[in-house]
């Protein structure tokens, strides 16, 4: 952080959930970037960061061997390409929504997006370090103990492993409009 308390790089992890978008709104409303200096190579910014799952994780399965004596290690390229195209559409929709929020709050000029593929826990912590983030802001889906046991908690992992302060917005107060 700068000496005046203003920030140079705010990393906001978004996954498309309402909790992550709430965290993005909170960051725009409550965190202030420092003014750019003439000699700086990077202007201060909010980085909207999204981690896309690898195709094998996204499908929740591996195509497996072809029945009736087909080769065991055969990859089905069309299957992989279709999954990757679908994930790209999802990622684009998530980033479009996040950028729409930044536009509504007049933050367009101070926002960058960054997308990587991999395990969200690890990739978010790597990005904090690689992008020299001053603070990480993220939402928490507040999974119950059973889901958390199987899925893990990305926010909990990041709170313990990120090399910067972490602000976690909990989603308990979000009302589901369908009910």
pTM metric for this prediction: 0.77
Residue 137 scores a pLDDT above 90: yes
Give first-to-last CA distance, the chain, whole Å.
Answer: 43
Sign of the dihedral defined by the CA atoms of residues 152, 174, 47, 55, in that order:
positive
User: Nearest Cα to 13, choosing from 163, 103, 161, 135?
Assistant: 135
Of all residues in the chain, what percent carry a pLDDT higher than 70?
A: 71
DSSP 118: S
User: What pLDDT digit, counting tens, does each position of 113-133 carry?
Assistant: 999 999 999 999 999 999 999
Residue 31 scores a pLDDT above 70: yes
What is the rounded distance in angstroms from the CA atom of residue 159 to the CA atom of residue 20? Answer: 15
Mean pLDDT, the chain, integer: 80
What integer pLDDT is reported at residue 61 of this predicted model?
53
Contact 64, 137 (CB under 8 A): no
**Of residues 145 and 95, more confidently modeled:** 95
16-25, 53-62, 134-143: which is most confident = 16-25
């Amino acid at each position: 952080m700068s000496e005046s308390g203003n920030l140079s790089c705010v990393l906001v992890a978004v996954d498309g959930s309402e909790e992550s978008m709430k965290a993005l709104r909170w960051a725009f409303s409550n965190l202030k970037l420092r003014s750019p200096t003439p000699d700086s190579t990077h202007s201060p910014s909010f980085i909207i960061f999204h981690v896309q799952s690898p195709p094998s994780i996204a499908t929740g399965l591996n195509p497996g061997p072809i029945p009736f004596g087909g080769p065991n290690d055969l990859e089905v390229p069309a299957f992989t390409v279709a999954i990757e195209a679908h994930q790209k559409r999802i990622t684009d929709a998530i980033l479009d929504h996040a950028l729409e929020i930044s536009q509504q709050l007049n933050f367009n000029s101070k926002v960058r997006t960054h997308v990587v593929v991999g395990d969200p826990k690890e990739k978010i912590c790597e990005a904090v370090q690689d992008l020299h983030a001053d603070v990480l802001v993220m939402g928490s889906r507040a999974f119950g103990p059973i889901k958390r046991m199987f899925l893990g908690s990305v926010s909990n992992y990041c709170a313990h492993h990120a090399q910067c302060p972490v602000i976690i917005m909990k989603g308990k107060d979000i009302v589901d409009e369908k009910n």
